[in-house]
Amino acid sequence: MNETLTIDIGNTRVKYAVFHGKDIVEINYFEPLTDDLSRLLEKRPYINKGIISSVGGKIDECLAQLTNIPMLVLSSKTKLPFSLTYNAKAEVGADRLALVAAAFAEKPHQNSLIIDIGTCITYDILTADDRHLGGPISPGMQLRFKAMHEHTALLPLCAPTHDELKIICDNTEECLQSGVQLGVSNEIKEFIRLYSLKFNDLNVFISGGDNIFLQSMLNFCIFASSNFMFNGLRMILEYNDIQ
């Protein structure tokens, strides 16, 4: 009854998922600077290996609690089921590698665009001949709201909305929400158009915590589940077959 541990340390959130085979049996947020992971291993003694993806540091704090099981730290040096074409390979974020692996697991040997809408918005291409091509990075929605609030004297701090977005607005909050959310939506649509000119039969995956605010505007895309990155991490761990 072996289980595997996958850890995603993002810029704003830190989360783990425990797999039994290909099924997630537990998922939760945790704090690396506490003993959360040590207590998880006590609670789930069948965890026998794991993998960490981090863009927010705190790897050593996690590994210090996981000394009893082999752990793979994901990086550009990790064995992957696709090749990296990026010149500065060491600069490729582990989160991007995990997302590309998740797309590979769902649509192997096909052209796929993976768009992750988190703190930043990232664009990655996985080609039908299994090459990863790095793409643009732009500010995410929360970052845009925060920047407008912090770098102006009067604009309030707003949050994304599920309400209908207007191009004729009645108050400042509506102006900010429409500017950010319609701006992000149209940015993404234009990138999809440009990539579709270069890659035939393109699958488009949308992942990340803020994708829920764009589903009605990008309903022609594949909206990945909240477990998308964890499935990519599990796939990479299996591919490396650590003992």
Catalytic residues, by residue number, are 95
CA quadruple 83, 122, 29, 36: dihedral sign: positive
Q: Are strands 222-223 and 203-207 parallel, antiparallel or unpaired?
A: parallel
Q: How far is CA 43 from CA 27, 48, 50, 153, in A?
A: 13, 13, 16, 50
Biggest distance spanned by C-alpha atoms of the chain: 60
Name the burial class of residue 116, with classes exposed (0-12), middle (13-18) and buried (19+) by CB atoms within 10 angstroms of its CB: buried
Integer Cα distance of 42 and 32 in angstroms? 16
Could you identify the residue written with the tokens 């600077």? 33
**Packing angle between helix 94-106 and helix 228-240, nearest 10 degrees?**
90
3-state secondary structure of 53: strand
In 10 A of CB 234, how many CB atoms? Answer: 25
